[in-house]
Amino acid sequence: MGLSQFYRIAAVGGAPAFLPSDIAGLQLWLDANDSATLFQDAAKTTAAGNGDVVGAWADKSGQGNDATQATTSKKPTRQDGIIGGLPVVRGDAGDDYLATNTGALTAETIFIVAKHAVNNALGIMVDSTGAGDTRIVYSPIVNRVIYSYDFVNAIVSSGFTETDPIIITAKHDGVTTLSLSVNSDTPVTASRAVDSHTYLHLLSRSSTSMLNGDIAELLIYDSELSDGNITLVENYLSNKWGIALS
């Protein structure tokens, strides 16, 4: 037993692989490739398989911020073999959405692996409430992703194709600067004083602007991560989902 265990460890280089939870401050971690986190019902009693509705997407951050939906007609679906051959949670642009609660955030870093089904259609990936709404969306203008922080926008409009899978990185420093990048390209920045808000919805803004597309993984941290930690997470997502970085 000891010998076989040695060879298992040696095969992976003797060190555990990086996980997003290795970085402090993780408030929400939704991973569609972890089948044990997808359920058909909000009570998390029945597993969701390929094509099934998703009534609960269990949070892996340890914070218990599961994303849920009790109304069957408003549940997104699990679809396998989509991004990098792995599962996603899909919204149909109708009335699908999941509700969560990250608690109040000011400084933040957010990573999303997503894929839009159409060009030039508004689709919200994650949305908050607060003094001013903060959200990450696909714009109704072709090839445009927006990080809207208290009504001030950082916009990326080049370097990617909207209907291809992408890795989105958005952050606010907790003072005045927000930034957004796609596939680890040079960030676009904007200026807005810090605002306290809570992320409440995935795939929509409660009941409007539903996403016609897929979310594969979502990570939200309660601080501005260092460049080094951002690189760790982006490389983790790139390798996992088969998305090339810039």
pLDDT digits 0-9 by tens, 30-64: 999 999 999 999 999 999 999 999 999 999 999 99
- Which portions of the chain are predicted below pLDDT 70? 1-14, 130-132, 206-208
Does 81 fall in a domain?
yes
* Model confidence, pTM: 0.92
Does 15 fall in a domain?
no
The closest alpha carbon to 27, from 225, 240, 245, 228, belongs to: 225
CATH number, domain with residue 178: 2.60.120.200
Residue 14 is predicted with a pLDDT of 63
The structural domain count of the chain equals 1
CA–CA distance, 38 with 52 (Å, rounded to integer): 10
Residue 207 is predicted with a pLDDT of 65
Does 216 fall in a domain?
yes
Print the domain residue range for 170.
Answer: 23-241
Residue 166 is predicted with a pLDDT of 98
Owner of token pair 């989509």: 82
Determine contact, residues 243/183, Cβ cutoff 8 Å. Answer: yes
Does 108 fall in a domain?
yes
